[in-house]
Structure 1
Amino acid sequence: MFTNKDINFEALKRKAYNGRWATLEEGIIPLTAADPDFRIAPEIEEGIIEYIKDGYLSYGPFSGLPEFNKSVSEHFNTEKNGFFLPENILAVNSAAQGMFLIAKYVLNPGDEAIILDPVDFLFKKSVEAVGGVIQLCPIDSKTGDIDFEKLVSLINSKTKLISICNPHNPLGKIYSKEVLIKISEIASAHNLWVMSDEIWSDIIYDNKEFCTYSSVSEEAKKKSFTVYGFSKSFGIAGLRIGAILCNDLEILEDFTEKSNFNSTIEGVSTLSQIAATVALEKAKPWFKEFLNHLQNNRNLAYKILSNSGILTPNLPEATFVLFPRIDNGFTSENFAQHALQQGKVAIVPGSERWFGKGAEGHVRICFSTSTEILEEGLNRIITSF
């Protein structure tokens, strides 16, 4: 199901944008955007077809279809130690939109938000888009450990939000319950909001436990939002579907109203919600096979890069990206350019643009492809230097 023969390259060259097959010259292997190369689960295809058979695509409820809200809440409660009711869920147009809406709700122009460094660029972008000011909290680029002393020192009267990425992109770190409790204690002591981006929380290796942020303490429940999406686990990025979860119903109702989700100004495609619902209710056997394939790819990539002499890899606990350190003296940008021009492989440089100041000296490599393509791509990078 996840071999080279299972990939429709013609379809990818027509449809896979965002730095992938449809945007690159012939012969270049993209190990870039975190998007699977495989077709979606057959259950999702069948669910979409079944839904439109009667010919109706009417408005759905503004807060999301009941079956969508129920499936997301149950997924978090059974898989991530959550305590959510269906009413605690708001359907949104992707996790990325959820991050922006939360920043807009929490921050006024000039307010400050603390984000991790390095971390995915959307954290910075969402805050700056609403006139907020970023404060960077450094984390260890190998282990993902948070510098809590620095975190506390960044808090002042303008601070309103702490944003975390768990599991962490690009380091693949899972933050433990103990670490999350510490964040909740700091946030509570200073009356701060917390946003936890948990879009990667399905892709967990070695049967490690994952705790959704709001589950770890009473303090964590009170002023927090959780963001979730379906693009990583189920490959439906083009359907633009995600969810915001909030344990406080009054806060979520106020958020829904102020984000214009109580009218036809906002709202999410019902077809996208059906696809996501089917993914959670019927496609988990497919996902388990996908996860097993990803873990094998992770192990292979780690082994190849460990013996490369030019990159020292991390071993991610989650996600399907590696964030190896560059060992041959190249900058992140120059390394990625060399890999593209000489090796014909596209990877993401660990530049400030994509991940913040703390990412320099690294590159990000996505491994959600076939074993054959991954091995070919990594070997091309290594032999190009």
Structure 2
Amino acid sequence: MFTNNDINFEALKRKAYNGRWATLDDGIIPLTAADPDFRTAPEIEQGIIDYIKDGYLSYGPFSGLPEFKQSVATHFNTEKGGTFSPENVLAVNSAAQGMFLIASYVLKSGDEAIILDPVDFLFKKSVEAAGGTVKLCPVDTVSGAIDFEKLVALIKPKTKLISICNPHNPLGKVYSKEILRKIAEIAATHDLWVMSDEIWSDIIYDNRKFHTYSFVSEAAKKKSFTVYGFSKSFGIAGLRIGAVLCHDQEILADFTEKSNFNSTIEGVSTLSQIAGSVALEKAKPWFNEFLNQLQQNRDLVFNLLSRSEILTPNLPEATFVLFPKIENGMSAERFVQHVLEQGKVAIVPGSERWFGRGAEGHVRICFSTSQEILEEGITRITSSF
């Protein structure tokens, strides 16, 4: 199910965009966008087929199908320590849209939001799209530790939001309950909102425990939003399906209204919601095998890079990306260009554009593909110098 022979490369070359197979010349290996090369679970495929058999694709409820909202709430409650009800869930067009909607809801023009540095570029983009100003809180690129002294110092009268990425992309850090409680205490002291992006929260290694932010303390429940999506865990990025969760139903109702989800202006494809619901209700056995394969892939890439003098790898606790440090003095952009030209491998630079200023000197490598592709790709990278 997760071998090289199971990957349909012809399909990927037709369909896998976002810096992957469909966008690159033949012969180039993409270890770029965080999107699996493996086909999605057969249960999801069958669920989509079953849903359309009667020939009806009608409007769904504005906030999401009941079965979708129930499956997301149950998933968080059984796997992540939550006590959400279905009414605490809003279906959105991807986790990314959820981030943008939350920023727009919380921030007015000129307001400030604190995000981690480095972190995925969508955090910065969502704040700026809402007219807000980004303030960067340093994160140690080796340990993933948040600089709490700097975090508190960044809080000013215009600060309205702290955004966290847990598990962290690109560092693969899973934040403990104690760390999350500390964030909640700081936010409560200064009456700030918190957004927790938890799209990676299924892909966690070594049986490590994950805690959804909203339920680590009473303080965390009061002014927080959680973002979730299906593109990483179940490989359905093209269906654009995600969820925003909020423990306070009145806040979520106001958020839904102000985000125009109480009309046909917004709303989410019912077919996409069915795929998400089936993923959580029926595709867990598939996912467990996928997670096992990813952990083997993580260990493989870590070991291969550890023997290299070009890159020093980190060992991620979660996600399916590594963020190794460049050891030959090249900038991230120059390193990536060299690897593309000389090794025919595409990877992501740790540049300000993609992850913030704190990412410089690193590259991001995605390992959600076959071990054969990974071995070839890493060999090409290390031998291109």
Q: Distance in 1 between matches of 2:211 and 2:245?
A: 14
Q: Distance in 2 between matches of 1:374 and 1:126?
A: 32
1:164 maps to 2:164: yes
Question: Within 5 Å, which residues of 2 pair with 1:310-349?
Answer: 310-349=310-349
User: TM (normalized to structure 2)?
Assistant: 1.00
Q: Match for residue 369 of structure 1?
A: 369
Question: Which amino acid in structure 1 is aligned with residue 312 of structure 2?
Answer: T
Q: CA deviation at 1:130?
A: 1.0
Q: Match for residue 38 of structure 2?
A: 38
- Per-residue CA deviations over 1:17-68 (Å, capped at 9, x if unaligned) read 0000000000000000000001000000000000000000000000000000
Q: Match for residue 292 of structure 1?
A: 292
Percent identity over paired residues: 81
Q: CA deviation at 1:248?
A: 0.1
1:352 maps to 2:384: no
Q: Match for residue 100 of structure 2?
A: 100
Q: Match for residue 273 of structure 2?
A: 273
Question: Which amino acid in structure 1 is aligned with residue 265 of structure 2?
Answer: I
Q: CA deviation at 1:131?
A: 0.6
Q: Match for residue 215 of structure 2?
A: 215
Question: Within 5 Å, which residues of 2 pair with 1:1-385?
Answer: 1-385=1-385
CA RMSD, 1 decimal: 0.3
- The residue matched to 1:225 in structure 2 has which SS? strand
Question: Which amino acid in structure 2 is aligned with residue 365 of structure 1?
Answer: I
Extract structure 1 runs of 4+ deviating beyond 2 A: none
Q: Distance in 1 between matches of 2:182 and 2:368?
A: 33
Question: Which amino acid in structure 2 is aligned with residue 274 of structure 1?
Answer: I
Q: Distance in 1 between matches of 2:130 and 2:250?
A: 23
Question: Which amino acid in structure 2 is aligned with residue 6 of structure 1?
Answer: D
- Per-residue CA deviations over 1:290-310 (Å, capped at 9, x if unaligned) read 000000000000000001111
Q: Distance in 1 between matches of 2:123 and 2:130?
A: 12
Q: Distance in 2 between matches of 1:118 and 1:205?
A: 22
Question: Which amino acid in structure 1 is aligned with residue 200 of structure 2?
Answer: W
- The residue matched to 2:243 in structure 1 has which SS? strand
Gaps of 5+ in 2: none
Q: Distance in 1 between matches of 2:370 and 2:81?
A: 32
Q: CA deviation at 1:88?
A: 0.2
User: TM (normalized to structure 1)?
Assistant: 1.00
Question: Which amino acid in structure 2 is aligned with residue 129 of structure 1?
Answer: A
Q: Distance in 2 between matches of 1:168 and 1:372?
A: 27
Q: CA deviation at 1:83?
A: 1.1
Q: Distance in 1 between matches of 2:82 and 2:327?
A: 41
Q: Distance in 2 between matches of 1:178 and 1:64?
A: 33
Question: Which amino acid in structure 2 is aligned with residue 367 of structure 1?
Answer: F
Q: Distance in 2 between matches of 1:289 and 1:100?
A: 32
Gaps of 5+ in 1: none
- The residue matched to 2:25 in structure 1 has which SS? coil
- The residue matched to 1:26 in structure 2 has which SS? coil
Question: Which amino acid in structure 2 is aligned with residue 26 of structure 1?
Answer: D
- Per-residue CA deviations over 1:140-181 (Å, capped at 9, x if unaligned) read 011110000000000010000000000000000000000000
Q: Distance in 2 between matches of 1:44 and 1:384?
A: 40
